[in-house]
């Protein structure tokens, strides 16, 4: 596997944090971001936390310039930052829609747009977008979230076709129900009923996702691009 610099948005907890440690422990230099201030294990010098709002293009431009000065521009970009603001559509406020779209979709555009030029110049790069099965199957109360993730799948395919000739792959990972803060609100009965619908009879864990993402970033995955890969225990089969 070719080592390099990795940039992970939304990397202070859950899947993003697991990704950060997974890549750092495999010899990559990792810059992980969060909207709020946070820390990593200081023993890992190749794991760098920074505070960044992915919806702010001015902040991203400042971040880009700082990383360029430190020779930390990424050849692997993992767009993981995402939020939910669940509500039935008839009760959904404008800000519920705008906030989710701005973070989950516009944030991916903002980061990909500024970092991809470096990848094109070097004719080498991996962009991995973290989507959701909600973007593939829909989910009541998540019109905003499902829309943002469905759009991300289309973004992935289109961008993959544009930059494939520059040796840049663009793929999407669509997790199902993973044991993170986003599923912690489920009560035990709801969780039990949910597990019954999953062929593997368990929720996923962040490590399941991080191992797949690590593979997609590797040389072994160099002929995979434009794909949305579900990792959901068999919940969605098509």
CATH number of the domain at 154, please: 3.40.50.720
Taking CA atoms, 225 is separated from 85, 91, 118, 166, in Å, by 30, 38, 19, 12
Average pLDDT over residues 172-193: 84
The answer to whether residue 236 is domain-embedded is no
Residue 1 banded pLDDT, cuts 50, 70, 90:
very low
The answer to whether residue 93 is domain-embedded is yes
The answer to whether residue 175 is domain-embedded is yes
| H-helix or E-strand spanning residue 5 | strand 5-8
Number of structural domains the chain divides into: 1
What is the distance, to the nearest Å, from the Cα of residue 135 to the centroid of all Cα atoms in its chain?
A: 13
Taking CA atoms, 31 is separated from 36, 99, 117, 130, 227, in Å, by 15, 24, 18, 17, 25
The answer to whether residue 238 is domain-embedded is no
Domain that holds residue 139: 5-231
Q: Are 150 and 136 in contact (CB under 8 A)?
A: yes
Tell me what the pLDDT averaged over the chain comes to: 95
Residue 182 banded pLDDT, cuts 50, 70, 90:
low
The answer to whether residue 237 is domain-embedded is no
Q: Is 145 a catalytic residue?
A: yes
Q: Which one is catalytic: 21, 40, 145, 223? A: 145
Radius of gyration from C-alpha coordinates of the chain: 17
- Half-sphere exposure (CA, 13 Å, Cβ side) for 123? 2
The answer to whether residue 55 is domain-embedded is yes
Closest among 4, 6, 229 to 115, alpha carbons compared: 6
Write the pLDDT tens digit of every residue in 203-226: 999 999 999 999 999 999 999 999
Is the pTM higher than 0.85? The answer reads yes
What is the distance, to the nearest Å, from the Cα of residue 146 to the centroid of all Cα atoms in its chain?
A: 15
Supply the pLDDT for residue 201: 95
């Amino acid at each position: 596997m070719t080592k390099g610099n990795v940039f992970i948005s939304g990397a202070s907890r859950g899947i993003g944090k697991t990704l950060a440690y997974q890549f750092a422990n495999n010899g990559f230099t990792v810059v992980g971001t969060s909207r709020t201030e946070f820390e990593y294990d200081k023993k890992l010098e190749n794991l760098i936390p920074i505070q960044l709002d992915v919806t702010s293009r001015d902040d991203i431009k400042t971040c880009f310039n700082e990383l360029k000065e430190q020779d930390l521009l990424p050849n692997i970009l993992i767009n993981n930052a995402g939020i939910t603001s669940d509500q039935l559509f008839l009760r959904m406020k404008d800000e519920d829609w705008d906030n989710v779209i701005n973070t989950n979709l516009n944030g991916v555009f903002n980061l990909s747009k500024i970092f991809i030029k470096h990848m094109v110049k070097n004719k080498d790069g991996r962009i991995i977008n973290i989507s959701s099965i909600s973007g593939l199957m829909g989910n009541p109360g998540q019109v905003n979230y499902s829309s943002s993730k469905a759009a991300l799948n289309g973004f992935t395919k289109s961008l993959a076709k544009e930059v494939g000739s520059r040796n840049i792959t663009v793929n999407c990972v669509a997790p199902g129900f993973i044991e993170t803060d986003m599923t912690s609100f489920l009560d035990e009965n709801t969780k039990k009923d949910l597990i019954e619908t999953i062929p593997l009879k368990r929720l996923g864990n962040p490590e399941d996702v991080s191992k797949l993402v690590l593979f997609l970033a590797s040389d072994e995955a160099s002929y995979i691009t434009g794909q949305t890969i579900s990792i959901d225990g068999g919940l969605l089969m098509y």
